[in-house]
Structure 1
């Protein structure tokens, strides 16, 4: 076991470390101090890149430009096999350079993948253990070119371990019968959201109560559902916190944003977010019921619960359904609107916080580390 305590891990990520705080950052920050971790992030236009390695805590972060679906929804430049081969080779050479320079070239390393564009390359990298972190339906975010599906399949077939956030997502991955698969949902920084914040954000001080609030990306909400709530309860304040990543989101949702009791705050920093969320009288999960969202496992479910808030959700994914013991879950738009008063009166704060604590990042990171250690031991034995 002593040998397994000194482990090198390379994580090929679809998200830049400094752009969004996702499960990767939360989990890796809790890995054992003896582990050395290299986080390979993609290049993205208009965002800060790390062409030279930087440290984020104990994690080393470096940018390696690699394959990208450009432009989305149009004929893809990487459908050309020769161009695909050339760009893949260039990306692999740069990655191998940093592996050598930073000391991550050992064949005893772990290769972790959440960026399926790296699938083909990562499948051929010598290592002791490969794992795939299925935190989302990654193919669902792309037009689904055959070469990309093949790239992902190649890695999955060689993976020793698959972490997945929902049963539906695992079904889509079609693992081999003998493959070790571990359900590892998303989680919460429990103390961050549970510790009471005394200061009320200025923008909330003058709003009529109760406040029905949503915190998350605007792109995924069911705007018609939110508008129905606002219209049915005009004396309540509906507060939306979070960014809209689609440049035309505001243009397409003026009818919602023009309602007098709907207040869109925009993006709020993670450090300040609990002070906003804790002022909600009812936390809303009015997410669209799309194939992408049905396979998801929402952080906001656990963040709301850690804050002790009553929660009202539309039945859009397995995680919400499984939390029905502490969450009010509606099957239809009409039921969602009708349940607002009942959900507001839900006083089961202790039960919700106990539920959130069971999904803390500390617990999830411990599970992931144990599974990776066991996989290393199986390969050594």
Structure 2
């Protein structure tokens, strides 16, 4: 499990059932595993480079429908019972309300700004809709509180003060 994911999960009660949903990434193993009280699942999502395709509303709806079916049939079947919390990492922008069907709370982890890298106009609205629908938002940079003023800051694992201290000794 990645450091950021561990940092977030370590702040939650051990007796909670947690589902962690992350984007599919080319070149990595398919994330579909259980670790104690945590189920990690991967969904398809918007990726930079496919913007021309996603500029078509029909294409976005098709991906949303695929995710809906994927989540409904595979995710629900693989996860026993109702989760206490669903954590959506970054790009789970197509079906934020769907996560409410299998978890009591929805948390969005913004560890990168997907809307900040030359994405289509529609993307920012969908990203904000996802953030607005969350019970809690976690951010990796304090300036991202512009998305939610009540967001909780958990850094990406680099302690800049310690890093700068060591740099001074070189």
Query: TM-score surpassing 0.5?
Result: yes
SS state at 1:61 partner: strand
CA deviation profile, 1:302-328 (whole Å, cap 9, x unmatched): 6x83x9x8334xxxxxxxxxxxxxxxx
2: CA distance between counterparts of 1:185 and 1:45?
Answer: 26
Deviation at 1:78, TM superposition (A): 0.9
Deviation at 1:138, TM superposition (A): 3.1
2: CA distance between counterparts of 1:160 and 1:41?
Answer: 17
As a proportion of its length, which structure holds more strand? 2
1: CA distance between counterparts of 2:27 and 2:133?
Answer: 35
CA deviation profile, 1:215-246 (whole Å, cap 9, x unmatched): xxxxxxxxxxxxxxxxxxxxxxxxxxxxxxxx
1: CA distance between counterparts of 2:123 and 2:58?
Answer: 15
Indicate how the Cα distance of structure 1 residues 58 and 105 shifts in structure 2: closer, same or farther if over 3 A, else same: closer
CA deviation profile, 1:228-270 (whole Å, cap 9, x unmatched): xxxxxxxxxxxxxxxxxxxxxxxxxxxxxxxxxxxxxxxxxxx
SS state at 1:68 partner: coil
SS state at 1:44 partner: coil
CA deviation profile, 1:52-99 (whole Å, cap 9, x unmatched): x4223442223333332235xxx5211111111112111121112233
Q: Higher relative contact order at CA 8 Å, sep ≥6: structure 1 or structure 2?
A: 2
Which residue does 2:9 correspond to in 1? 28
SS state at 2:21 partner: strand
Q: 1:101 aligns with which of 73, 77, 86?
A: 77
Indicate how the Cα distance of structure 1 residues 81 and 119 shifts in structure 2: closer, same or farther if over 3 A, else same: same
Q: What's the C-alpha RMSD, in Å, of the aligned pairs?
A: 3.0
TM score, norm. by length of structure 1: 0.38
1:137 aligns with 2:113: yes
Deviation at 1:164, TM superposition (A): 2.9
Where structure 1 has 5 or more consecutive residues not aligned to the other structure, the ranges are: 1-16, 187-297, 313-342, 346-381
Q: 1:164 aligns with which of 127, 135, 139?
A: 139
Structure with larger Rg: 1
- Residue pair 1:166, 1:183 contacting (<8 A) in 2 also: no
Where structure 2 has 5 or more consecutive residues not aligned to the other structure, the ranges are: none
Which residue does 1:123 correspond to in 2? 97
Q: 2:66 aligns with which of 90, 107, 114?
A: 90
Deviation at 1:170, TM superposition (A): 0.8
SS state at 2:44 partner: coil
TM score, norm. by length of structure 2: 0.76
1: CA distance between counterparts of 2:22 and 2:131?
Answer: 20
| Paired residue total | 168
Q: 2:47 aligns with which of 68, 72, 76?
A: 68
> For 1:46-65, what aligned pairs fall within 5 Å after superposition?
46-50=27-31, 53-65=32-44
